[in-house]
Chain A
């Protein structure tokens, strides 16, 4: 027990840096948000509109529709979906103790998709009165149930005695995703609703259908999830050492796991219900943030929400402007950006998927 000499450097503390990053991300979100309101197929400009409002002039009908009913809800929905998916990724990775767990890759998104399509197609069989009470939230609730069921099933299959087998998790995810999408495909072809026949929406996502009503359904769940994330970040840090070690450090492991699964299912389910399946945000965002400011979940989760929102708004801007006046499915953009990052993670850390 030699005394600690006073000239020893203080160990590096990454927490202050992580919270500074939160500030920068918030600023960037603001900038990207304004940019997304500015650019689009129509040349309506939020700046002109603001100037008009400032001088007490009335907005033109085009400005009202484009800015208030098209771009603004689309911006809000992109931000909510991006934040929800990125945080879902970070939480799922913490729960499975592996940076490759992404709601899209391990089948959670597909489970949510199946739930949403099931609700749309089979919802018509419900008694009219019931259908009117549940209304549009039926799709969100069904997507949540589908995502929740898939997450639990995946966890049961891949985890024994608190140890998650990564190859099992990834392979089970492939099987679950294939099964869910096959069943969704059957439902889609059963449906006579022409809109539903558009499978690309469910496999690659789009923000084109953004309405204030959709924002209103998804906002409460995602806001609740955002507020609840500090409750699990400490537990996820403990679980990084293993479930037994976390328990010995005073973490309510079972409670943390239950909350985490509900959280991921809620956020992913809602995101799928309003915007379809959008991949790779959940894996790229947390990975970049861990590189930048460390794996501590306390700043990681809010930072993931911010960067996820930024990324999704940017991806939507690309999706709706690059082939204007047509639109790309947003999932194509996130896949083009995200899949190479996924491969890069695999290259750098081969051991993560191997049996070791």
Chain B
């Protein structure tokens, strides 16, 4: 499991995260949501060790600061919000880098299956630099999946850290990527995802951590967290979730009348 205690981050002389405690279980998708500027991405970057921070992060019971980066790369993979590349590597070369970074160096036969998970096999020979934003995002997800292809190795779960994995995708690919990520969790891996869209979050996440102003504002399942009092307070606007009849899954529609806006 992933545990974090007292994560505090200062950026540009200003404290942006104030002692966040957090936990995520393998076999589940834990989503991090919150308004713009609430510290979602900052928190993810602190969790993955990209940002200097106070507090400790434990990965499967070990403090991540004590794990060498090469070993860490075999335990978890990180998807940034967007990746611009300087040189025209082909899509399959990008995915191969992921294989090499994890425990799967030389297993080139996994390149196409990894691309298939994000619906991008047709891009395999294209230069990455020629792709659209959504295509690049899917290719990066394929690279990250390739890095930790098996969700569990020797009974040790491996982890996916995703920063807005579906925000630049069309609905069809959003659905495919969510299915892929759910499948990874269902097979025992752990997923921590920063999400923007609350409806997609409700559809995807087992647990949701809501951040506001660098603090945890709420924590729980979609049913527990996506309620009118919590959301209205966090997002500073009236938000009244509806329920999908079959699964009682909460959903939100813009509810203000045109006149109010």
Which listed residue (A14, A97, A294) contacts B86, Cβ 8 A?
Answer: A97
Q: In angstroms, how far is the closest chain B Cβ from the Cβ of A134? A: 39
| A-to-B contact residues, CB < 8 Å | 1-2, 4, 8, 10-14, 93-94, 97-99, 234, 237-238, 240-242, 244-245, 247-252, 290, 294-296
Q: Which B-chain residue is minimally distant from A238 (CB atoms)?
A: B97
Q: In angstroms, how far is the closest chain B Cβ from the Cβ of A165? A: 13
Q: Which A-chain residue is minimally distant from B112 (CB atoms)?
A: A4
- A51–B86 Cα gap in the complex (Å)? 52
Is A1 in contact with B183, judged by CB distance below 8 angstroms? yes
Is B116 in contact with A4, judged by CB distance below 8 angstroms? yes
- A296–B94 Cα gap in the complex (Å)? 10
- A294–B98 Cα gap in the complex (Å)? 18
Which listed residue (B48, B70, B87, B117) contacts A295, Cβ 8 A?
Answer: B87
**Interface stretch among B27-35, B72-80, B188-196, B223-231?**
B72-80
Is B86 in contact with A8, judged by CB distance below 8 angstroms? no
Q: In angstroms, how far is the closest chain A Cβ from the Cβ of B80? A: 6
| A94: B residues at CB distance < 8 A | 86
| B86: A residues at CB distance < 8 A | 93-94, 97-99, 240
Is B69 in contact with A242, judged by CB distance below 8 angstroms? no
Which listed residue (A2, A4, A252, A296) contacts B89, Cβ 8 A?
Answer: A296
Which listed residue (A12, A245, A295) contacts B80, Cβ 8 A?
Answer: A245
| B210: A residues at CB distance < 8 A | none
Q: Which of B116-147 contact A (CB under 8 A)?
A: 116-117, 121, 124-125, 147
Q: In angstroms, how far is the closest chain B Cβ from the Cβ of A250? A: 3
Most buried by B among A2, A99, A248: A248
Q: In angstroms, how far is the closest chain A Cβ from the Cβ of B101? A: 3
Is B116 in contact with A1, judged by CB distance below 8 angstroms? yes
Given A250-B72, A294-B89, A294-B93: A241 touches B116 (CB 8 Å cut-off): no
| A294: B residues at CB distance < 8 A | 88-90, 93
- A94–B49 Cα gap in the complex (Å)? 23
Give 4 closest A-B pairs by Cβ, nearest first.
Answer: A250-B73, A249-B101, A295-B87, A11-B92
- A242–B136 Cα gap in the complex (Å)? 14
Is A12 in contact with B92, judged by CB distance below 8 angstroms? yes
Q: Which B-chain residue is minimally distant from A296 (CB atoms)?
A: B93
Per DSSP, chain A at the interface is loop
- A340–B26 Cα gap in the complex (Å)? 56
Is A242 in contact with B92, judged by CB distance below 8 angstroms? no
Is B85 in contact with A247, judged by CB distance below 8 angstroms? no
Q: A10-B112, A248-B72, A248-B77 are in contact. List 4 more A-B contacts (CB 8 A).
A: A11-B112, A234-B100, A240-B87, A251-B69
Which listed residue (B80, B116, B183) contacts A2, Cβ 8 A?
Answer: B116
Judged by a CB distance under 8 angstroms, whether B179 is at the interface is: yes
Judged by a CB distance under 8 angstroms, whether B113 is at the interface is: yes
| A93: B residues at CB distance < 8 A | 86
Is B116 in contact with A242, judged by CB distance below 8 angstroms? no
Is A247 in contact with B50, judged by CB distance below 8 angstroms? yes
Which listed residue (A2, A4, A242, A250) contacts B83, Cβ 8 A?
Answer: A242
Q: Which of B244-260 contact A (CB under 8 A)?
A: none
Judged by a CB distance under 8 angstroms, whether B180 is at the interface is: yes
Q: Which B-chain residue is minimally distant from A351 (CB atoms)?
A: B129
Q: In angstroms, how far is the closest chain A Cβ from the Cβ of B181? A: 12
- A224–B73 Cα gap in the complex (Å)? 30
Is B50 in contact with A237, judged by CB distance below 8 angstroms? no
Is B69 in contact with A252, judged by CB distance below 8 angstroms? yes
Q: Which B-chain residue is minimally distant from A239 (CB atoms)?
A: B86
Is A8 in contact with B112, judged by CB distance below 8 angstroms? yes
Q: In angstroms, how far is the closest chain A Cβ from the Cβ of B73? A: 3
Judged by a CB distance under 8 angstroms, whether B216 is at the interface is: no
- A234–B86 Cα gap in the complex (Å)? 15
Q: Which B-chain residue is minimally distant from A352 (CB atoms)?
A: B86
| A245: B residues at CB distance < 8 A | 78, 80, 83
Q: Which B-chain residue is minimally distant from A248 (CB atoms)?
A: B78
| B73: A residues at CB distance < 8 A | 248-250
* 11 contacting pairs across A/B (C-beta < 8 A): A4-B121, A11-B111, A11-B112, A12-B90, A12-B125, A97-B86, A241-B94, A249-B98, A250-B70, A294-B89, A294-B90
Most buried by B among A2, A11, A99, A244: A11
Q: Which B-chain residue is minimally distant from A163 (CB atoms)?
A: B84
Which listed residue (A99, A247, A251) contacts B87, Cβ 8 A?
Answer: A99
Judged by a CB distance under 8 angstroms, whether B213 is at the interface is: no
Q: In angstroms, how far is the closest chain A Cβ from the Cβ of B51? A: 9
Is B87 in contact with A1, judged by CB distance below 8 angstroms? no
Is A237 in contact with B112, judged by CB distance below 8 angstroms? no
- A99–B100 Cα gap in the complex (Å)? 24
